[in-house]
Structure 1
Amino acid sequence: MATVYEDALPKHHQATQGEKMVIAASSLGTVFEWYDFYLYGLLATYISAQFFSGVNETTGFIFALAAFAAGFAVRPFGALVFGRIGDLVGRKNTFLVTMGIMGLSTFAVGLLPSYASIGVAAPIILILMRLAQGLALGGEYGGAATYVAEHAPEGKRGLYTSWIQTTATFGLFAALLVVIGFRFALGEEAFAAWGWRLPFLISIVLLAVSMWIRLQLNESPVFQKMKDEGTTSKAPLTEAFGQWGNLRWVLVALLGAVAGQAVVWYAGQFYALFFLEKTLRVDGATANILIAIALALATPFFVFFGWLSDKIGRKPIILGGCALAAMLYFPLFGALTQAANPALAAAQASAPVTISAHQDECSFQFDPVGKNSFDTTSCDIAKTYLAKAGISYANAEAAAGTIAMVRVGDRTFAAPDAGKLSGEDKKAAIKTFQDELKAGLIAAGYPEKADTAKINKVAVVAILWALAMLVTMVYGPIAAMLVELFPSRIRYTSMSLPYHIGNGWFGGFLPTTAFAMVAATGNIYYGLWYPVLVAAATVVIGLIFLPETFRRNIDD
């Protein structure tokens, strides 16, 4: 039965204690699930050492990232499975199940024996846990967003659901704080040895609290009304995706809103962190602290833009954020280089690096299986070293058969002709080349890592805040818009799939895709073309096909 306030209160009213409880409980549970999900990404280096130690270091890290990506890959399938259940049996019980799966899978990672203890079973079990987490998260978000929206009064759905939108950032923020806290408390050596397990293990306490709070809630009034009247869907998957009338809105939601929102979100939070650590060589602890400060400053704006979307509409805010991102990413990331590693920026300007080689001798510098050593041609040897050092370089075509030459400012270094060498002679020649090139880069002003004392921390936080503000624009109103696009009988299923294809695939694979683009071209900014083009395409498609939804009645 629906609660008294749901039946008696008018559509426009001040938030009741019951509604506040719905928002708090749904948001807290979703924060917990995002905490679990992002914890793995933050600890990928430690997980690689523990569970993929049977292979070389590079391959192990790639496998660790692949296991992280597996959680994103299965999210749309989780959306289908749990979305269908949510439309058949109810919102509340479905996201209780997803929370339980997520929490127990996370806790299990903290207890899982390492590769040294149980061999190949360790990474297999780890990947199974990640798949379970991805499936659970695929069902969680749609349930929480639908549940809150169906409790919200007319004219306040953007405001109410915006609290759900803060949860991903709060989850990342919580994971950052926990990891930073344990690293400082235990020291790097103890944290690497066993302390990395603690953030996973303490999640069982969060799981218990979140489950208890959610158990106090009633079913969504919209679903309860449909259930009482016998109008719930008997085949939500068929209705949602087998009928063009609804399927076309699924496609419009994906391509005209969610795809752009996803790449802006992942570029502004995760790729920015990756760029700071891997490309600009800022130490991990400093990078985590700087991005945590920026996220803390930006997070209230999720609620602001959700509230604003109730006044002026969802569409202009979401598409406006995508348009601004497409225009600003290159200058913002360029400014980030200047602020975080000024020595690197100065060296790139005064002594640019160019590789002259015949392109048929240059491999694609991205190895997803970790089996290629990239040492069979002089071009590969030169590019491999620069890619690992995070040095941006330009490519110049040379005649076939010539040795690759690396030009640093006004100095030139010849890469060894790997085809004429083998064994120890080859190793020695490569090492000599790398040592000489390293010395040349240092002489030209290229730093091995960012000097913490020279980081303009205020400027870095300001740039990261600007990137996060774009995230709040696109993400704050998206839940309300997705709920409003679809009829209540198939809402959970319909909104979950485009959301998780967009965020799981378009967004979740952004760091890997961008890194591959950088590795292929040598330009540290080239990977930004991926979010820029997807965001721009979303603006065009959204302007043409996406309807405004903020005045719709969602009870039908």
Structure 2
Amino acid sequence: MKSRKKKVSPIGLKDITIVDDVKMRKAISAAALGNAMEWFDFGVYGFVAFVLGKVFFPNADPSVQMIAALATFSVPFLLRPLGGVVFGAIGDRLGRQKVLAATIIIMSLSTFAIGIIPSYESIGIWAPILLLLAKMAQGFSVGGEYTGASIFVAEYAPDRRRGFLGSWLDFGSIAGFVMGAGLVVLIQSVVTEEQFFEWGWRLPFLLALPLGVIGLYLRHAAEETPAFQQHVESLEQGDRDGLASGPKVSFKEIATKHWRSLLTCIGVVIATNVTYYMLLTYMPSYLTHNLQYSESNGVLIIIAIMVGMLFVQPVIGFLSDKFGRRPFILTGSIGLFVLAIPAFHMITSGSTGLIFAGLLMLAILLNFFIGVMASTLPAMFPTHIRYSALASAFNISVLIAGVTPTVAAWLVETTDNLFMPAYYLMTIAVIGFITAVTMKETANKPLRGAAPAASDIEEARELLQEHHDTIEQKIEDIDTQIAELEAKRATLAQQHPRID
């Protein structure tokens, strides 16, 4: 059977997507709020882990209570790859918007459920079991959440502003974390310690339900991304009708054809999320439990640092559109390797000023990673497999990163060495460095498999000219290679008696 050769038409101004500002703002708001929901739970959980240990594991040693509570945080990461596979396949078949509506429903309900689970004293072993089930439901939904949100923003954003606009996704993450941690502090300040242990810790989890309703409304109002719509429209009618029946490309084929992108994705996510979980989930417990630092002061320092990160985040995204994504991942990795030990010398000093300085140092380095991650990852895969491939690679990586709080706590307890988290970060920094050196730059380029996207008609003309210049350069490179091959052929042919 002869394969039909697809006719390719020249790309003109009409083929460049002019992004609608109103739709783009709706898309970013909808995506960022869902991400804020995810990290709201992480923030609350990290700051009440010491309470959860006593409520759900009351018969254990205090150190074991802390590790058990953090382990309950880490175990759901086992479900994230499964969620990524399921939601990724659905996202590539039915669209990004539908998946994001489903994930925020599951996420808000499971977070709300944590707030209504009875204590161990009330229902015994069922209490920690129900807590684990709620966290597993969260893990399953989050498996499709961040990747879907980052794809949603990336496919809406103009090529020259993808870094800046994508940075607002993790701005939502930090804001959600600050909101969660701040709410814990507020509740602790207005109720007694006994009331907080009895019912006060539940209130932040209950707030997830109204937040989920708002997020669902925003996501339902947002339209499907232009890139996915173009992909569907580009398919022949038969392929379009069969799009919903199942994925056309297996993960094995993705891993074979896109192995470099998969490895880059895994490296970026591990470097980013290990640093994230170490600083924002583990450090509150580390300060209180291991350093016996005032719990209220430690929480306020973390919150102050995260508020500062909110201002740095969009700046990194903006600069990455000017200088590229690779320089920030490279700088963040080198900085983490060199400064992890000095930072922990400050953190363990007992001085409030030095503790703040050490944590701030790590926070700025974290900004270098998260400021570019949402714009870097979606650009690695073509439209028709973007969700499936990215969700699989992302959640395999997060599976590794998600055990960070548990492993860090265990290492400190078993070795009695307060610098084990620093050594952990230095190891991760090596992975980030290798990834940055080997990855391809994606800034200011169209997403793979998608038409160029511009903010206005003038920018569209500039992108078109750049695209044509790139094609001309590629043709010149190919012509050069052809000439070299022809010369090589002529040389070889001269050595054979029957070949002209």
TM bucket (normalised to shorter chain) is: 0.7 to 0.9
1:446-505 deviation per Cα after TM superposition (whole angstroms, max 9, x unaligned): xxxxxxxxx33xx43333222111111011111111111100111112122332333342
What is the CA–CA distance in structure 1 between the aligned matches of 2:216 and 2:14, rounded to whole Å? 28
What is the CA–CA distance in structure 2 between the aligned matches of 1:520 and 1:85, rounded to whole Å? 43
Deviation at 1:247, TM superposition (A): 3.2
Structure 2 partner of 1:269: 280
Deviation at 1:164, TM superposition (A): 0.4
Q: Which 10-residue stretch deviates more, 226-235 or 170-179?
A: 226-235
Give the letter for the 2:314 counterpart: V
Return the match for 1:503 from 383, 395, 398: 398
Deviation at 1:281, TM superposition (A): 1.4
Structure 1 partner of 2:482: none
1:92-128 deviation per Cα after TM superposition (whole angstroms, max 9, x unaligned): 1101111100100111111112222222222211111
What is the CA–CA distance in structure 2 between the aligned matches of 1:539 and 1:81, rounded to whole Å? 31
Residues 237, 493 of structure 1: 8 Å contact kept: no
Residues 83, 141 of structure 2: 8 Å contact kept: yes
Structure 1 partner of 2:359: 464
Deviation at 1:318, TM superposition (A): 1.1
Structure 2 partner of 1:126: 131
Structure 2 partner of 1:144: 149
Structure 1 partner of 2:47: 42
Distance 1:181 1:154, change over 3 A: same
Return the match for 1:249 from 261, 278, 286: 261
Distance 1:274 1:197, change over 3 A: closer
1:323 aligns with 2:345: no
Deviation at 1:69, TM superposition (A): 1.0
Residues 412, 418 of structure 2: 8 Å contact kept: yes
Structure 1 partner of 2:324: 313
Distance 1:281 1:88, change over 3 A: same
Distance 1:486 1:81, change over 3 A: same
1:29 aligns with 2:29: no
Residues 268, 470 of structure 1: 8 Å contact kept: no
Return the match for 2:296 from 285, 288, 306: 285
Deviation at 1:56, TM superposition (A): 5.2
What is the CA–CA distance in structure 2 between the aligned matches of 1:139 and 1:493, rounded to whole Å? 9
Give the letter for the 1:530 counterpart: Y
Structure 2 partner of 1:518: 412
Distance 1:34 1:526, change over 3 A: closer
Give the letter for the 1:481 counterpart: T
Superposition TM-score, scaled by structure 1 size: 0.73
- Aligned partner of residue 461 in structure 1, secondary structure: helix
1:64 aligns with 2:69: yes
Structure 2 partner of 1:356: none
Return the match for 2:439 from 530, 535, 546: 546
What is the CA–CA distance in structure 2 between the aligned matches of 1:55 and 1:269, rounded to whole Å? 25
Give the letter for the 1:336 counterpart: I
1:180-219 correspondence runs (5 A): 180-219=185-224
Q: Which 10-residue stretch deviates more, 134-143 or 258-267?
A: 258-267
Deviation at 1:51, TM superposition (A): 2.2
What is the CA–CA distance in structure 2 between the aligned matches of 1:9 and 1:195, rounded to whole Å? 56
| Two-structure CA RMSD over aligned residues (Å) | 2.3
What is the CA–CA distance in structure 2 between the aligned matches of 1:235 and 1:252, rounded to whole Å? 26
Residues 264, 474 of structure 1: 8 Å contact kept: no
- Aligned partner of residue 158 in structure 2, secondary structure: coil
- Aligned partner of residue 299 in structure 1, secondary structure: helix
Identical residues among aligned pairs (%): 32
1:4-28 deviation per Cα after TM superposition (whole angstroms, max 9, x unaligned): xxx9896577x71221121112111
What is the CA–CA distance in structure 2 between the aligned matches of 1:113 and 1:516, rounded to whole Å? 28
What is the CA–CA distance in structure 2 between the aligned matches of 1:516 and 1:151, rounded to whole Å? 42
Residues 76, 497 of structure 1: 8 Å contact kept: yes
Residues 299, 472 of structure 1: 8 Å contact kept: no
What is the CA–CA distance in structure 1 between the aligned matches of 2:356 and 2:162, rounded to whole Å? 31
Residues 85, 94 of structure 1: 8 Å contact kept: yes
Give the letter for the 1:45 counterpart: F
1:229-244 correspondence runs (5 A): 229-230=234-235, 235-236=246-247, 238-243=249-254, 244=256
Residues 46, 284 of structure 2: 8 Å contact kept: no
Distance 1:523 1:23, change over 3 A: same
1:491 aligns with 2:386: yes
Deviation at 1:276, TM superposition (A): 2.1
Deviation at 1:75, TM superposition (A): 1.8
Residues 35, 170 of structure 2: 8 Å contact kept: no
Structure 2 partner of 1:413: none
5+ residue gaps in structure 1? Answer: 1-6, 343-454
What is the CA–CA distance in structure 2 between the aligned matches of 1:59 and 1:266, rounded to whole Å? 19
1:482-535 deviation per Cα after TM superposition (whole angstroms, max 9, x unaligned): 111100111112122332333342x32222223333334332113321210121
Give the letter for the 2:389 counterpart: S
Q: Which 10-residue stretch deviates more, 175-184 or 39-48?
A: 39-48
1:376-431 deviation per Cα after TM superposition (whole angstroms, max 9, x unaligned): xxxxxxxxxxxxxxxxxxxxxxxxxxxxxxxxxxxxxxxxxxxxxxxxxxxxxxxx
Residues 30, 140 of structure 1: 8 Å contact kept: yes
1:383-422 correspondence runs (5 A): none
1:534 aligns with 2:404: no
Greater helix fraction, Structure 1 or Structure 2: 2
What is the CA–CA distance in structure 1 between the aligned matches of 2:322 and 2:246, rounded to whole Å? 35
What is the CA–CA distance in structure 1 between the aligned matches of 2:312 and 2:392, rounded to whole Å? 26
Aligned residues between the structures: 430
Residues 170, 374 of structure 2: 8 Å contact kept: yes
Distance 1:297 1:8, change over 3 A: farther
Structure 2 partner of 1:168: 173
Distance 1:18 1:32, change over 3 A: same
Residues 80, 140 of structure 2: 8 Å contact kept: yes
